[in-house]
Structure formats: structure tokens, C-alpha cells
């Protein structure tokens, strides 16, 4: 099956390079070429490609806003292709928050021109399109966990409750909104599993840290949970929660579609989560996290998904709802307040 590619770039030389790279692959074809964001939106409305290669800096309408409008009107995989990633970091994460799935530099004329002849771009196109095709609801029930009694005591009084958050397409923007509204004395440890290329996960942690009063860092092997800290799962391995609030990076399952997998972390939360923990599944393509969220709910913890109106892509939350994994559905602008109330310490009874 030929991958139909839409190319959005206002520079004639860059557009020509991208067209040639796509046309050199017998499994791809150029469906159309747009010179700015407005034209890209119109093109998607009349001829939806299998993937859009989206520039960031363009006249009239930039790549961030074009991505946002395409994902609202005619959702499809979007790969940001920009002359320099390092020079456009804020826009890169804004675009990913708007629904872009990945980012790379423009071959030949970009900041990787000495190393990249177009093979990296072709590989990313094939990988993203394959992941979209593979992101279909599974027939099995996925990860399971032995049910535990709701309110079971934590392994240690020093281990805080966990707010586990899974996200994919559109996740960075949703995460920034939620974390930005949490107070500096938030009593739970926040663990985020976001699907993102391993080249950008550290930058994501830094970017999220600029939007919240809570400390944000990458989760490390053997790290222990702390209240009020946000830990972002690193790419290249799965993240799990073990006894006594320690985090672990593991290789299995090796055949998981996503690494790190939301399902894997949620399943470990169901097994080892401290009392008072909760899980949240945000916007994302596919179904990763749905089965894991069901395991968390069966273990007696509160589970929630983002609502369809505020989600960029409703695949993951919708799959969780279909499984009966979510106890509640929350609009994005209500999520932080909901968890502030949920994790509010109970008042100590007055002595008589």
C-alpha cells in the first residue's frame, strides 16, 4: 500500500528536497504540496493524506496552528519537519501538544545535513504510518493485575500516593495545562508516560517544567517517589512501579508497540500502588493505556479519562471507555481541580 504524503513548506528548495526524498521510495508518493498553513488545511479537507510533513515557520499561518486546525477538522498523522529543532524548541512542543506525532530536521538543508541524506525522514514516515495502522483495539484484555482491597495500606508511610498519567498524540499540551494548574504543595507524586521520540523526551521534561511550579525530571531506574514531584518516563525502556515506591526501567515486554508503554506502568500501579493513588488517560492515538487503566480500576483505585471535546485524538480515552476502565470522564480544564480535591488530605478529627 503506497503512503500518500502531503508536504507543507514555504521554501521552494526545501519543498523540492522533500518531494525528491519521498519520490525515491517506491512505497510513497506525493499527494500534494502546500506553501503555507492555510493551504495545508484546505488540502487536507479535499484530499486527506496518510501523513503530513509540516514545516513550522511559515507566513500567514505557522505549522503549530495549522497542525491544531487539521487535527480538529481532518485528523491525520503529522510529522514536523523543520530546518532546526534546537532553534525552534518551544514551537516543536507546541506542535506536539497540538497533535503532531514526531519531529525531525529537514534533510540536506537542516542542522543534520552532514549526516542525513533523507533516509532518516523516510524511516520516520514508515514508522509513524505503521504505528497508526497497528494502533487498533486489541481482542485480548491486555495487562491484568490481582485485585487488591481498596484503601489497602501503602508499603511504607513515607510513600506518597501516585497520580499516574498516560498520554500520546496531543499529550504535551494537555500535560502543560494540567501541571500548570497544580499547586506547589500537591501531595501526590505525578508519573507521566508520554509517547515521544527518545531524542525529545529530556526536552519535554524541561518544557513541562517551565509551565508548572512542581519540579519535573526524567524518571530514573531505582528512583523513589516523592510528593509534589513530576517524573517523566524516559524513552527506550518501560517504566514500572515496584514495592515501597521505587521505580524501575525494564525491557519486557519487548514486542510492545510503544516504549515506554502506558499499559505496562498502569499494570504495575495496579499491583504496587500506594493507598490513595489514581490514574488518568489523556488524548492519544491507538489504545495503549486502556487495558492498564482497567487493571487499575479493578485494583480499587479511581480512574479517569479526558473527555472527547478537549482531546486532540480520542483513541486512547475512547478505548478505555469501551473497556469500562474509566470511573469518570473529565474535560481538560477541570482535571487539575479534580485531582487537587481528590488528593486533599482528610482533616484530622479533633480529640474530645
Q: Where are the domains of the chain?
A: 3-134, 162-342
Q: How far apart are CA 46 and CA 73, in angstroms?
A: 11
Q: What is the pLDDT of residue 153?
A: 37
What pairing do the DSSP bridges indicate for beta strands 238-241 and 247-250? antiparallel
The answer to whether the predicted template modeling score (pTM) of the entire model surpasses 0.85 is no
Asked whether this chain's domains 3-134 and 162-342 adopt the same fold, the reply is yes
Mean pLDDT of 126-131: 85
Q: Does domain 3-134 have CATH number 3.40.50.2300?
A: yes
Q: Which three cell numbers stand for residue 184?
A: 506547589
Q: What is the pLDDT of residue 332?
A: 97
Q: How confident is the model at residue 236 (pLDDT cuts 50, 70, 90)?
A: confident
Instruction: Note the CATH number of domain 162-342.
Output: 3.40.50.180
293 in Cβ contact with 320 (< 8 Å): yes
Q: How far is CA 219 from CA 102, 190, 193, in A?
A: 21, 11, 10
- Active site amino acids: 168, 195, 288
Helix (H, G, I), strand (E, B) or coil at 105: strand
Amino acid at each position: 500500500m503506497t503512503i500518500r504524503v502531503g508536504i507543507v513548506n514555504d521554501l521552494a528548495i526545501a519543498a523540492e528536497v522533500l518531494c525528491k526524498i519521498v519520490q525515491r521510495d517506491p512505497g510513497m508518493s506525493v499527494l500534494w504540496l502546500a506553501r503555507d498553513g492555510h493551504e495545508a488545511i484546505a488540502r487536507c479537507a479535499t484530499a486527506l493524506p496518510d501523513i503530513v510533513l509540516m514545516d513550522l515557520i511559515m507566513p500567514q499561518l505557522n505549522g503549530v496552528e495549522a497542525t491544531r486546525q487539521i487535527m480538529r477538522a481532518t485528523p491525520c498523522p503529522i510529522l514536523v519537519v523543520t530546518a532546526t529543532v534546537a532553534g525552534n524548541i518551544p514551537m516543536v512542543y507546541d506542535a506536539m501538544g497540538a497533535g503532531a506525532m514526531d519531529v525531525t530536521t529537514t534533510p540536506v538543508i537542516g542542522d543534520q545535513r552532514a549526516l542525513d541524506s533523507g533516509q532518516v525522514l523516510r524511516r520516520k514516515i514508515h514508522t509513524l504510518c505503521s504505528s497508526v495502522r497497528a494502533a487498533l483495539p486489541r481482542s485480548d484484555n491486555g495487562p491484568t493485575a490481582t485485585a487488591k482491597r481498596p484503601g489497602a495500606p501503602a508499603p511504607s508511610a513515607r510513600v506518597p500516593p501516585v497520580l499516574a498519567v498516560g498520554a500520546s498524540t496531543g499529550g504535551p499540551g494537555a500535560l502543560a495545562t494540567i501541571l500548570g494548574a497544580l499547586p506547589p504543595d500537591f501531595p501526590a507524586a505525578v508519573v507521566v508516560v508520554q509517547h515521544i521520540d527518545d531524542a525529545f523526551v529530556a526536552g519535554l521534561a524541561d518544557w513541562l517544567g517551565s509551565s508548572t511550579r512542581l519540579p519535573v525530571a526524567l524518571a530514573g531506574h531505582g528512583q523513589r517517589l516523592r510528593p509534589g514531584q513530576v517524573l517523566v518516563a524516559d524513552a527506550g525502556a518501560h517504566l514500572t512501579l515496584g514495592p515501597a515506591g521505587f521505580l524501575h526501567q525494564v525491557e519486557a515486554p519487548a514486542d510492545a508497540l510503544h516504549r515506554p508503554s502506558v499499559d505496562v506502568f498502569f499494570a504495575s500501579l495496579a499491583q504496587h500502588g500506594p493507598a490513595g493513588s489514581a490514574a488518568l488517560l489523556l488524548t492519544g492515538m491507538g489504545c495503549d493505556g486502556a487495558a492498564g487503566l482497567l487493571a487499575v480500576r479493578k485494583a480499587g483505585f479511581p480512574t479517569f479519562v479526558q473527555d472527547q471535546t478537549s482531546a486532540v485524538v480520542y483513541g486512547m480515552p475512547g478505548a478505555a471507555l469501551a473497556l469500562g476502565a474509566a470511573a469518570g470522564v473529565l474535560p481538560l480544564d477541570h482535571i487539575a481541580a479534580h485531582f487537587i480535591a481528590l488528593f486533599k488530605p482528610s482533616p484530622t478529627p479533633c480529640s474530645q
